[in-house]
Amino acid sequence: MHILLCGSFDDSERDDWLQALQRAFPAAHWHLSVDPLNAAQIEVAVVANPLPGSLQGLPRLRLIQSLWAGVDRLMGDASLPAAVPIARMVDPAMNRAMTETALWAVLSLHRGFFRYAAQQRERLWRQWPQKRADEVQVTVLGLGQMGHGAARQLAAQGYRVAGWTARDRNADPVIEVFSGQETLHPLLSRSDIVINLLPLTPLTEGLLDEEFFNAMKPGAALANLARGAHVIDTDLLRALESGQLSHAVLDVMSQEPLPENHPYWGHSQVTLLPHIAAITDTRSAAGMVAENLTALRDGKPLANLVHKGLGY
């Protein structure tokens, strides 16, 4: 099997991936670029946010396997061959990492640890009232692999947890589940902390806007661990400045890296992370890719296929 590995990674990241993938699926010829000789041989493209247009002119392409969980950039490439299935990365190690970040954000927001860190910088000794976890309503937007895992772990820590999805979804034994646009505002109005783990699609892009923030409980906090384009930045800044929102934890930005002069950097109510909430784990992710390559070779069903109509 001839496989193309390409994406927006630097040489050392690409070499790490190549090694891990070769180890996980040795029975393949791996290519790092397309040329006139290999273009007609390549059957699979294993990609990490490739430049638009990079998967054109591959007549035998049968599978595009993403190394990223979110496929929004890939789906935005109008030149992708329409008939070729796309598989997302679903990696238990990545899901665990996302749960850790969600737990850290919720614990820090609930217990005021960001505020205490700011107080230390001011040499200020001041205690604030302490709420119990079961007095804190956490809402997780998006109940995919990551959102659902994080929601259940938050519930296990004693938080009152609800999950919200844009489309219908079955009830869950541990968390409350709400679906559809009409349930969103009532849920936001009683949530102390909102965690965004939605996929980025035309339906969810810009969802976190002025109307959304106004619907939130005054003084509530947001953690955006999904994509920067979910948030209208000027609306979020306004909501923070008016006190409608108390704090925002942002792992993802509409422009990455975040420009040096962006107001988020120095904002006392913003905690920034450089898109590290859940980095793909090379070793376990290579194993997941190998499982799909094996299924393709053996004519078995492929896992984690993207629903192109829904965009995730």
Residues marked active site are found at 227, 275
User: Is 9 one of the binding residues for ligand GLV (CB under 6 A)?
Assistant: no
> How many helices and strands, by DSSP H and E, does the chain display?
9, 12
240, 218 Cβ separation under 8 angstroms: no
CB atoms within 10 A of CB 57: 14
CB 183, min distance to ligand GLV, A? 26
Taking the least distance from each CB to ligand GLV, the nearer of 177 and 200 is 200
Non-local (6+) Cβ contacts of 290 within 8 A are: 21, 24, 25
How far apart are alpha carbons 193 and 177 in whole angstroms?
16
CB 111, min distance to ligand GLV, A? 27
Q: Contacts with ligand GLV in 53-82 (CB under 6 A)?
A: 68-70
Q: Which residue is nearest to ligand GLV (CB)?
A: 70
Q: Contacts with ligand GLV in 79-118 (CB under 6 A)?
A: 89
Non-local (6+) Cβ contacts of 186 within 8 A are: none
204: tokens are 């969810």
How far apart are alpha carbons 274 and 257 in whole angstroms?
7
Taking the least distance from each CB to ligand GLV, the nearer of 156 and 279 is 279
Taking the least distance from each CB to ligand GLV, the nearer of 69 and 208 is 69
CB 269, min distance to ligand GLV, A? 24
Taking the least distance from each CB to ligand GLV, the nearer of 55 and 89 is 89
CB 94, min distance to ligand GLV, A? 7
Alpha helices in the chain (DSSP H): 11-24, 72-75, 92-111, 113-121, 145-156, 181-188, 210-215, 233-242, 282-297
Number of residues that bind ligand GLV (CB under 6 A): 5
Q: Which of 191, 280, 282, 292 binds ligand GLV (CB under 6 A)?
A: 280
Residues that bind ligand GLV (CB under 6 A): 68-70, 89, 280
